[in-house]
Amino acid sequence: MLDLGSARRADGSFNPEFIEELRDATHRVGFFQVIGYGGAPGQAKELLATIRRFFDLPLEERMKLDNRLSPHFRGYTRMGTEVTQGRADAREQIDYSPDREPVEDYPPEQPYWLLQGHNLWPESMPELKQAAMAWAELMSKVGAELMRAIAVSLKQPENYFDEPFGDTPAWMGKLVHYVGGVVEAAGDQGVGSHADYGFVTLLLQDDVGGLEVLPPGASAWAPVEPIPEALVVNLGEMLEVATEGYLAATIHRVKAPPPGVDRYSVPFFWSPRLDAVIDPVPLPTELKAQARGISDDPANPMLASFGLNMLKGRMRAHPDVTERHYPALMRS
SS3 content of the chain, % helix, strand, coil (to 5): 35, 25, 45
Which is more confidently placed, 85 or 308?
A: 308
Compute the C-alpha angle 45/266/313, nearest 5°.
Answer: 175
User: Hey, where are the domains in the chain?
Assistant: 2-331
Per residue in 2-30, pLDDT (tens digit) is 999 999 999 999 999 999 999 999 999 99
Residue 115's pLDDT band (cuts 50, 70, 90): very high
Homologous superfamily (CATH) of 2-331 is: B-lactam Antibiotic, Isopenicillin N Synthase; Chain (2.60.120.330)
Of all residues in the chain, what percent carry a pLDDT higher than 70?
96
CA 92 to chain CA centroid, Å, is 16
CA gap 85, 167 in Å, rounded: 34
What pTM value is reported for the model?
0.93
Torsion of CA 120, 121, 124, 127, to 10 degrees: -170
| pLDDT of res. 234 | 95
Per residue in 52-82, pLDDT (tens digit) is 999 999 999 999 999 999 999 999 999 878 7
CA gap 329, 332 in Å, rounded: 5
